[in-house]
């Protein structure tokens, strides 16, 4: 057997503790920079005990957990294969830091992941392996731990139910193991923060980490700062150029549409129409009309902490 059982999620405290001792199948995409939900820093924070990302109260994850039984039941009815929610944390015998907790397991040991997606972006035809990269990484990691040749992803996508097949890819798993081992040794065991990435989660992390600052201190730039500033300015200029071009072509299409509602092309459609009117309530005006006493206003008035705002400009250039 290539794996062993390390913990059971029904005993929550030891299960959460065991998860911190390795890279799980829900972590591997983030470690490789392919997750839309987490960055490498998120994984590092969890594994070093600095956060509890695994206990996420994000609405999307909450909905996914709630729908897991429904998806699993639909999978069984459609494929005739029973599945079990073992809740167990499995670990590789050869690599103790390689962990996996599949959503469901079939009697033959093959994993079944239950997913919910509101759009079909990144999803191909049912039965194929055309699924978002982060889910490919997740299932490949499970197959590698469990020693299985294929697994399934059962998904509610929009208003449809689909099942996808992910077959074991030895080369991909070797690359994933290599990336995970480097991450585990260089960052988790060494207790060194991974480099920041373009992930929006890293911006939130930096905002929290450096929320307190010396308002009277301006640092003198060093060579690495100058290099980063040059790259940032170039990226902003490219973005502004792209935005201007998009506005130009959009306005030209609006002119072409003119008094029509839209234009139909061979492979595209553009429409230019007014949204349906909606009634809104000006609550501030309502309150003003009622002349509330100052004490009532004070009762519902509280200071709002402002987040640090990042501003950048090139000196000597008009902005």
Break the chain down into helix, strand, coil percent, rounded to 5.
45, 15, 40
DSSP label at residue 119: S
Give 197's contacts (C-beta < 8 A, 6+ positions apart): 33, 39, 40, 41
Strand-pairing partners, residue 114, are 154
Reply yes or no on whether the pLDDT at 234 is more than 80: yes
Q: Which residue has the tokens 């007014």?
A: 274
Reply yes or no on whether the pLDDT at 263 is more than 80: yes
pLDDT band at 253 (very low <50, low <70, confident <90, very high): confident
Q: Find the mean pLDDT for residues 22-44.
A: 95
Strands (E), the chain: 3-8, 88-92, 99-100, 104-105, 111-117, 150-157, 160-167, 262-264, 269-271
C-beta separation of 68 from 78 below 8 A: no
Give 20's contacts (C-beta < 8 A, 6+ positions apart): 46, 47, 49
**Of the ranges 92-96, 146-150, 158-162, 285-289, which one carries the lowest mean pLDDT score?**
285-289
Reply yes or no on whether the pLDDT at 314 is more than 90: no
- Kindly give the interhelix angle for 170-183 and 133-146, rounded to the nearest 10 degrees: 90
C-beta separation of 31 from 180 below 8 A: yes
- Encoded tokens for 154: 């059962």
Predicted pLDDT of residue 52: 54
- Encoded tokens for 176: 């994933």
Strand-pairing partners, residue 7, are 89
> ∠182-187-188 over CA atoms, to 5°?
100
pLDDT > 90 fraction of the chain, expressed in percent and rounded: 54
3-203 has which fold?
Lambda Exonuclease; Chain A (3.90.320)
C-beta separation of 95 from 181 below 8 A: yes
Predicted pLDDT of residue 318: 45
**Of the ranges 48-62, 136-150, 152-166, 192-206, which one carries the lowest mean pLDDT score?**
48-62
Greater model confidence, 59 or 177: 177
pLDDT band at 155 (very low <50, low <70, confident <90, very high): very high
pLDDT band at 167 (very low <50, low <70, confident <90, very high): very high
Predicted pLDDT of residue 44: 96
Average pLDDT for the chain: 88
Greater model confidence, 187 or 64: 187
* Residue 114 burial (C-beta neighbours within 10 Å; 0-12, 13-18, 19+): buried
Predicted pLDDT of residue 306: 62
Predicted pLDDT of residue 316: 58
Predicted pLDDT of residue 56: 53
pLDDT per residue over 185-197, tens digit each?
999 999 999 999 9
pLDDT per residue over 205-233, tens digit each?
998 888 887 877 887 888 888 898 888 88
Predicted pLDDT of residue 319: 43
């Amino acid at each position: 057997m290539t794996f062993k059982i390390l913990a059971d999620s029904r005993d929550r405290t030891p299960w959460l503790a065991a998860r911190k001792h390795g890279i799980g199948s829900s972590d591997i995409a983030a470690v490789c920079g392919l997750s839309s939900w987490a960055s490498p820093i998120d994984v590092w924070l969890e594994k070093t005990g600095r956060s509890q990302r695994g206990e996420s109260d994000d609405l999307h994850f909450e909905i996914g957990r709630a729908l897991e039984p429904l998806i699993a039941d639909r999978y069984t009815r459609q494929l005739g294969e029973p599945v079990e929610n073992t809740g167990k944390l499995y670990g590789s015998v050869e690599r103790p830091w390689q962990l996996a907790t599949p959503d469901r397991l079939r009697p033959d040991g093959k994993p079944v992941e239950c997913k919910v997606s509101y759009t079909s972006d990144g999803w191909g035809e049912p039965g194929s392996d055309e699924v978002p990269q982060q889910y490919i990484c997740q299932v490949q990691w499970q197959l590698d731990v469990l020693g299985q040749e294929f697994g399934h992803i059962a998904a509610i996508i929009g208003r449809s139910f689909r099942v996808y097949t992910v077959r074991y890819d030895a080369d991909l798993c070797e690359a994933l193991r290599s990336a995970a081992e480097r991450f585990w040794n260089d960052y988790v065991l060494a207790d060194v923060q991974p480099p920041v990435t373009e992930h929006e989660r890293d911006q939130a992390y930096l905002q929290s980490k450096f929320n307190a600052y010396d308002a009277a201190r301006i640092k003198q730039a060093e060579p690495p700062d100058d290099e980063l500033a040059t790259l940032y300015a170039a990226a902003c200029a490219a973005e502004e150029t792209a935005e201007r071009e998009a506005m130009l072509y959009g306005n030209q299409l609006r002119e072409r549409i003119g008094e029509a509602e839209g234009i139909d092309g061979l492979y595209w459609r553009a429409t230019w129409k007014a949204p349906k009117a909606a009634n809104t309530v000006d609550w501030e005006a309502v309150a003003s009309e009622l002349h509330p006493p100052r004490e009532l206003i004070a009762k519902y008035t509280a200071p709002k902490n402002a987040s640090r705002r990042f501003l950048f400009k090139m000196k000597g250039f008009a902005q």
